[in-house]
Structure 1
Amino acid sequence: PYTALLLDSLFDRLTASSGDASVRDLAAQSLREFLTWSVRQQMPSSGADSTASFYSRNVKSIVKRVCLLALHPASSKRLGAALAFNAVYAQFREEDSLVNAFAFELLHCFMRSIQLADADDASLGTVEQCDLALDHLERIMVERAAALKVESQGRRTPLGSKWTSATLEVAVRWLVGQCGQPESACRAAAMRLLVNDGSPTDRRRRVRGGLARCLLTSSPEKRQQTAASPRQFFQALLKQFKANYFYDRWE
């Protein structure tokens, strides 16, 4: 009960509609410290198939709150969800069991969140924070691409989605569909997640090749060389999906 009260208090400060930015920052830092303590106390380093790792109550509670708030109609709630994940991202990526269980669910939630944020006031910063959260998830998934290509018993399928399984191929197929969404922020995020060639102005966004190129090859060296032109890349991608027919008519 005390843990629930603590998390409720922190998330209330993170998602307050009239909250002070400094209070939000303090709440995010406190959440980061709480997650660090939870990982150290409750999660044994016994591998990705550890039941205790998958269902650690404190960590699961944080991630579920983030996922629920990321889909909230209120912009302040979605902003708080993105701030919370960005605060604990460094701790989250270090635990293979957490990445294996929640990476795809978080990807789906933040893509939906940035789609909703397209109608928000630009001064709120919801699009920027969701964009940063997706950038963090891409880094994680590129590094864990080999493991995410295959199904895992403890992996969560995104709620409300039509995914047949939680694998990298299904995620890439879904992201290709998101490139046709009417919201510009959602389209841009999906394209960047698929093919990330870096940003000339943002040093944080290094060239990682994107999730689609990870699907084609797991070698970082080959990933940078795969599909020198957009035509060659999408031809290789759709060939991977056995969709040559559609590619020939898409030209």
Structure 2
Amino acid sequence: MASELFQQLTSVAAGQSGLVTGAQAARTGLGKAELERLSSGGLLFELDWDVHQLTSSPLAPRFAYPYAAWLALAPDKFASERTRGDAVLSQGSAARLHGLGAVGAPVMTFLAPIQRFGRLPRAVEVNVDKLAPPDVMVLGGVTVTTPHRTIVDLVRSHTDHGEVRGAITDAVLRDAVDLARLYDDLVPLADHHEFPAEGPEFAGYFLPEVDPASLSPRNRRALTAVVLADRVDETERALAAALAKVPGGDRADAQTVRTLAADIVGRSEQV
């Protein structure tokens, strides 16, 4: 009977990356005493928050702890009974999962569309906010905000600017974000959060040690457009005027012209 119960527990845990809560185990017929015996037998161990991990689980701690926190938010429900978007890892916790900078994360932070959870596990917080589908991804089985949304949320949550700087630098160097889009989304926050919004000052503040040559083509062009916006605007107008004189040139996509202008300026200025 015990063997059958453990097999049932294993089946449940298999759909949860090898993790199971005490409440879930109780639903399969395994109480605290049985879990302790299985733990003593080396078959599982308590990871945290009354969440247990099978020793056969391949999930590394980097992913296991946030996933355990997500399970602990609704410990009596199986993952298949929940929507992964009901709580999404965010802010400093998301930055750590992505490996962006060295952001402090004293608590495991989630975003949820509504506050539907009761008493929260220790060292876990849930903030209410809406997330669009493009803001969410799955990394190592953990539902998490994208690097772009993570950085925006770090700023909004008054994270130390030095930590934000490290996160932005890593994200840009790894091409995990589009610098042009990120800059557009951060500029409206500049006054309230006290960082420079003007292109050259913004780049000097958040990307002081970035070598443009180390960037992807899209982010090198974006950095050029941020730092040398006037030059790019001037070149874009000249290109548009030249194309207007070519048959069919007026049908050129505006974004394509802008991209070409940034590429030309970047190369000429060695940005």
Give the TM-score of the pair, scaled to structure 2. Answer: 0.33
Q: Which has more strand, going by share of residues?
A: 2
Which structure has the bigger radius of gyration? Answer: 2
Structure number having the greater helix percentage: 1
Relative to the length of structure 1, the TM-score reads 0.35
Structure number with greater CO (CA < 8 Å, separation at least 6) is: 1
